[in-house]
Amino acid sequence: MPIKVLVVDDSLFMRTLVSDMLDSDRRIEVIDTAKNGAEALKKIPEIKPDCITLDLAMPGWDGLTTLKHIMSQYPTPVVIVSAYSKEDADITIKCLNAGAVGFVLKPSGELSLDIRTVEEQLLEQVVAAAKVNVAKIKSLVAKKPKRARRKLIGINKIVVIGASTGGPQTLEAILPSIPSDFPASIIVVQHAPSRFFSESMAEHLNNTSPLLVKVAGDNELIQAGYVYFVPSGFRMTVTNRSPQYESGLTNHDQRFICLSEEEPSALSPSIDIIMRSVAKIYAGNVIGIILTGMGQDGREGMKAIKESGGKTIAQDESSLIFGMPKVVIDAGFADKVLPASGIARAILDLVA
């Protein structure tokens, strides 16, 4: 049976384009469309869609308001289809934390004539979202992590977390549980098609976490107690050579971030690249974590961390999308397999 989709967008032109793209895939069938949130809410109990694509900027109820009504009355996997701006990114982060499964960026604003450039991403997001157990979404969104209270001794370790679809909600369940005196550094690699989303996620988590959360900067010194988000559209590696001096190594405890610009994509930034780099520089002092997401980015990175003597954790089947973690688990590269609710405690135990 094909995946039944309801397309919600105030623009007839965009509803038509999005519907045509979805209908082009034999796995998917657009069973109806709606021009606003109120109309969508009336149709959901009648047509019972497997997935909903939802625009953000609509008259009456906006996307976030519509999503809240959907999740409270007729819980259904939702993929946000939004425009490309800082404001849209902020609202999309709120939508993800309110229960949306994934997001696709309209490449050139609300009326994107070039929407077909993200066709493959949209199709995969819808197919993945339709497989999500809605109970997992509600459970993940409802859980408020408890802040750990533990005095940790400073040591030269680093944690690298890789995530894709479902990552923002899962990170929200992990990072606030890490105390402000955490003696290691954390790098987060969250697939995002725009730097706006990397910045918005970092800003949001900085407001909810005891740690200092920021977007990583080129040549930045890596410090304990900080969480560095790799910006979308950039390839990140780590070096122990100071950018201020062309020759000679710095203090052996100092590590620096190196960023090189690349074309943003659905799999940007690369989890494998940063994990392999960190494994080389930090050797056995790395804790690698792979969270929810589609595909197999992170598989080779987790292999490198494990082979260097580091420790690895994969999220279990409670993942919204049990794709990337399953690949790592099946390959034998996960030392621990845990639900999101147990990952913060495992990090503290491995670092303490």
Q: How many CA atoms lie within 13 A of 168 on its CB side?
A: 27
252: burial class by Cβ within 10 Å (0-12, 13-18, 19+)? exposed
Amino acid at 70: I
Could you tell me which of 153, 155, 158, 210 has the C-alpha nearest to residue 179?
Answer: 210
Residue 269 is classified by DSSP as S
Measured from the Cβ of residue 215, the count of other Cβ atoms closer than 10 Å reads: 21
Question: Exactly one of 50, 191, 232, 272 is catalytic; which is it?
Answer: 191
d(C-alpha 137, C-alpha 135), whole Å: 5
Bond from prior residue into 269 cis (ω within 30 degrees of 0): yes
Question: Exactly one of 19, 82, 112, 164 is catalytic; which is it?
Answer: 164
d(C-alpha 171, C-alpha 208), whole Å: 11
Q: Backbone phi, then psi, for 9, in 5-degree steps?
A: -160, 140
Q: How many CA atoms lie within 13 A of 90 on its CB side?
A: 4
Is residue 191 among the annotated active site residues?
yes
Question: Exactly one of 9, 50, 55, 297 is catalytic; which is it?
Answer: 297
Is residue 69 among the annotated active site residues?
no
Coil, helix or strand at residue 240: coil
The two tokens of residue 225 are 């107690």
d(C-alpha 312, C-alpha 246), whole Å: 34
Longest Cα pair distance anywhere in the chain, in angstroms? 69
User: What are the residue numbers of the active site?
Assistant: 164, 191, 297
